[in-house]
Amino acid sequence: MISESKPPALWKLIILVALLWLLGFTVIWQAFDDMEKRGQFGDLFGAINSLFSALAFAGVLYTVLMQRQELAMQREELEASRESQRLQNEMMSAQLRKMEESLEFEREKRKADNEPIFDWRSVSHSGRHERHTYNFKNTDGGRFRITAVKVSKPEVGVEVGVAWTQTIIASNGEGVITFGPSTPGLEFTVTCLGNGFEYRKAFRITDPNQTPKPIES
């Protein structure tokens, strides 16, 4: 495992600078016995000090400019990241919409595939109670149960009693709906449940002695 190198402690740098300063002071003191010569020798480094000061100031300016450039690059990267995130969100939203549309399509297809089909076969009449029983067969449909038969009668004051098959009607199964009395022009809607779907089928009885006819929606 590679360990990260740590910068030297501040007090060590201070001691190092102090030692160098003392060393330089000692060398100059020993090399020149006259104070005037020592001063002249020190003046030789004035221009060098100015140069280093200018270089230090230039270094500070360069550092500031580099930091500004890095900040600008970071802002651009952040904006690019936001744009990429926005595009990803749009793609995910589009995929989600497609999935929802596909699920809705599959649901409607499944509902259509299991829709009960009323194939009216025969009519039986009970003259004593004026009842008409209509027999049907579920062809090419799934299993279902009739939950309600709503009757709309054109003649006011005529009470129509309704009875229907209560058991589950399987595919190719038979059922009956009885009306008493059954009048010409009577319309009714059959509500049934099957495979988790609700279906409504509307029919009209033009002639009580004939099978009902579907009402196109």
- 177 and 206 in contact (C-beta within 8 Å)? no
Judge whether residue 125 has pLDDT over 50: yes
- The answer to pTM > 0.85 is no
Q: Domain boundaries in the chain?
A: 10-110, 118-214
Each residue's pLDDT tens digit, 61-104: 888 888 998 999 999 999 999 999 999 999 999 999 999 999 99
- What's the pLDDT at 1? 45
Helix (H, G, I), strand (E, B) or coil at 131: strand
List the structure tokens of 69. Answer: 């450039």
Q: What is the mean pLDDT of the chain?
A: 80
- What's the pLDDT at 39? 66
Most confident region among 23-27, 47-51, 106-110, 127-131 by mean pLDDT: 106-110
- What's the pLDDT at 166? 78
- What's the pLDDT at 162? 84
Integer angstrom CA distances of residue 166 from 18, 62, 163, 176, 204: 107, 91, 9, 9, 21
- What's the pLDDT at 8? 54
Q: Which CATH class is domain 118-214?
A: mainly beta
- What's the pLDDT at 100? 94
- What's the pLDDT at 156? 46
Q: What are phi and psi of 48, to 5 degrees?
A: -65, -40
Mean pLDDT across 162-191: 84
**C-alpha–C-alpha distance, residues 108 and 126, integer Å:** 41
- Name which of 34-43, 86-95, 147-156, 190-199 the model is least confident about: 34-43
**C-alpha–C-alpha distance, residues 124 and 134, integer Å:** 7
- Name which of 108-122, 131-145, 148-162, 183-197 the model is least confident about: 148-162
Mean pLDDT across 142-169: 77
- What's the pLDDT at 13? 64
